[in-house]
A and B are shown apart, each in its own frame.
Chain A
């Protein structure tokens, strides 16, 4: 069952079962024979001992092995046969489904004497529940709620959809620049770049990678020997200048293409 209005059926008919059922047919009856689903409304009935309230047929096409059935009846019980229907209206069952009961959609008309509630009060509570405000009129609420209550998109996104499709449209370009400062010294020495200590690899090499903004950066690199007797310092200066049309300059302001930069980054290895 999908919801109060739709039920779902799937089936698999063994060929020998179909052969056996077909053998009950006269040769004329096999002409124009159709596969159908027969949907019985068996609410509160012990079907087939008691007859169904009603039934309807759905003609199946081709190789269908499942069907969504628009029973369109909340709070009713259904049972489905798959079978063969002759032109004269004879129906032979191939297989029978389990029984399903669609859920009630809307408030129950059954009231409990011990827990009696005034209609107005019930609808007031209903209104608050759905977050449509407190104190709206019951009639206005009813129409709104029955439609909207169950369909609010208040469900879990799960952990599984981490990538959103990019929203930008059209052609675009994004440019950025980073700077790698690397070098080597005595493995036991300590090194600072712009006064920040850097970890040395076992062979005495080091490297750091930095985002390079526009402007001029002065980068002093200092190494001090383990016994603090020797020190060396090298300073590098780097300038980045970015020219380019900002995205907003284009007429379509929604074309958010990022900055169309043309970066001129002077890259220098200091050592």
Chain B
């Protein structure tokens, strides 16, 4: 049975940028959602449900960004995902034949076929194409603590100069959450853990009780936090900040020292889409003929070699179980040690990107399931908890001011502000100025003007996704990120100009509304907070 010497909060942050291109029959970047569905979201849901059915008590916290929520409930993307799965099933059927004389690969082809057909069965039959349904059930069942995130995953510290933009990202995030889960968010994931002092006041307005920061956000808080990151602190607004524990993060995150780099685990970079005869895989890759990942991968990491050995799922599963045991053991020792310094049970907060599990780390969902089972059955030191449950148990916490910080490289803003993407900010800032001015100038817009103003707000939010700056920095898919910033900026500016000249083009507006159709509830007045609305 789990114990009461301390607590561990596992937090998974789920996010994808809004990518939906009805103007194209097939669109490469839409695959990001499809891959995440097949490899991460569906396997996690399946495992959480199994744990719940087996009556294993646990708590896990998951954040959902509004862009992801919008895509999960979008009929076009749902239909395209089913089409994508059908193609994968077809390919895996051919693979079963192709590998007949290669037993280790044949077995994997059967496994993939099973995974894809199971995914289709769950997605289409069990969840009626809407993954929010099982997530809501898990939340209602008490195992999942869902939390909100900002509208389009805008990186808030770089918006601080225009707090109306910060506030709008948060408010739209809370609204989207409420629409999806039918409840107010108790916590909010700040994109990239990007916190800037005083932004917590906007969370307070929304009734949000906590957010997460990276370790140094809390450790460097002033006054000095008595318990370091092993207890939350309250900002002066009364909103709690939970600091990330780096030790537990490292073992999962780090590609070098972490579990995912184990030689028995599946190799991410050897994919059938890149390896097989071109004519054969051609129907299953990008329509323009570019090879892409299919998700069918036959090798294990093996070692620092290109001579990769066939993947052995049994061995990998055994390793995932061992690693779950190791993680649990380390948390027990950690909790015991911290207990000697603290006069109350410590809380270890371990946040991860959801997509790490399954997509990057194929065995991640298995590891998580093993960990949850072991944490319940095999130890008596700590209990899995959600941040809000912890606050309910320990409502008295130190008041201090956390520091500006993020969980990006070097801990601050440099990933989203450097030579590759700094040019975006002059445009984004200008857009916010115009948005705020226009919203104030039209406090009661109706009809076409109202639609135009709402769409302006939508375009602004979409342009603010931290993803574009991130992609520009990392150097792959930069053309796409550039195009997205430019498109949203152009649409916004066109609407702004048309509105100024009182020359709105209804047909054009309708087209843009149909393309960038996220957040149907969006009210542009979020940028003109006059009457608290």
**Cβ-based interface call for B24 (8 A):** no
**A125 and B228 within 8 A (CB):** yes
From residue B215, how far is it (CB to closest CB) to chain A in Å?
Answer: 5
Residues of chain B in range 401-443 having any CB-CB distance to chain A below 8 Å: 403-405, 407-415, 417-418, 422, 425-426
Whether the pair B400, A112 counts as a contact (CB closer than 8 A) is yes
Name the CB-closest residue of A to B224.
A108
Residues in chain B within 8 A of chain A (CB atoms): 16, 32, 35-36, 94, 97-102, 105, 157-158, 160-161, 192, 197, 214-216, 219-230, 243, 245-250, 253-255, 269, 274, 277, 280, 292-293, 305-307, 333-334, 337-338, 341-342, 353, 355-356, 359-360, 398-400, 403-405, 407-415, 417-418, 422, 425-426, 467, 470-471, 474, 476-477
The reply on A188 being an interface residue by CB < 8 A is no
Contact of B224 among A112, A124, A156, A159 (CB under 8 A): A112
Once the chains bind, are B398 and A3 in contact (CB under 8 Å)? no
Please give me the residue from chain A that is nearest to B214 by CB atom: A150
A-B contact count (CB 8 A): 212
In the complex, what residues of B have CB within 8 A of residue A158's CB? 355, 467, 470-471, 474
User: A residues within 8 A CB of B405?
Assistant: 103, 150
Q: Would you call B216 and A159 a contact (CB within 8 A)? A: no
Q: Which residues of B are found within 8 Å of A135, using beta-carbon distances?
A: 337
Would you list which residues of chain A between 140 and 168 have a CB under 8 Å from chain B?
Answer: 149-164, 167-168
Contact A167-B410, Cβ < 8 Å, known A12-B426, A129-B247, A157-B360: no
Contact A111 B224 (CB under 8 A): yes
Shortest CB-to-CB span from A156 to chain B, Å, is 5
In the bound assembly, the distance between CA atoms of A151 and B414 in angstroms comes to 11
A-B contact pairs, 14 of them (CB 8 A): A4-B412, A10-B426, A110-B224, A122-B226, A125-B228, A126-B228, A130-B215, A134-B337, A149-B411, A150-B405, A158-B467, A162-B292, A178-B98, A217-B101
Whether the Cβ atoms of A107 and B219 lie closer than 8 Å is: yes
Which chain A residues have a beta carbon within 8 Å of chain B's beta carbons?
A: 1-4, 6, 8, 10, 12, 66, 98, 100-101, 103-112, 114-117, 121-122, 124-126, 128-131, 134-135, 149-164, 167-168, 178, 194, 196, 208-213, 217, 247, 256, 258
A153 vs B410: C-alpha distance when bound (angstroms): 8
Contact of A112 among B98, B223, B477 (CB under 8 A): B223
Query: Contacts A98-B161, A129-B247: A122 and B228 contacting too (C-beta < 8 A)?
Result: yes
How far, in Å, is B95 (CB) from chain A's closest CB?
A: 10
Q: Which residue of B lies closest to A132 (CB)?
A: B247
Contacts of B35 in A (CB 8 A): 159
State in angstroms the CA–CA spacing of A178 and B250 once bound together: 43
A104 touches B403 (CB 8 A): yes
Q: Which residues of B contact A194 (CB under 8 A)?
A: 100
CB contacts (< 8 Å) of B215 on chain A: these are: 129-130, 149
Report the bound CA distance from A234 to B175 in whole Å. 67
In the complex, are the beta carbons of B100 and A108 less than 8 A apart?
A: no
Please state if B227 and A155 are interface contacts (CB–CB under 8 Å): no
Residue of B nearest to A164 (CB): B269
Contacts A108-B224, A134-B334, A149-B216 known; 16 new A-B pairs at CB < 8 A: A3-B413, A10-B422, A12-B426, A98-B161, A101-B404, A110-B222, A115-B225, A117-B227, A129-B243, A131-B247, A150-B411, A153-B409, A154-B246, A194-B100, A196-B97, A217-B101
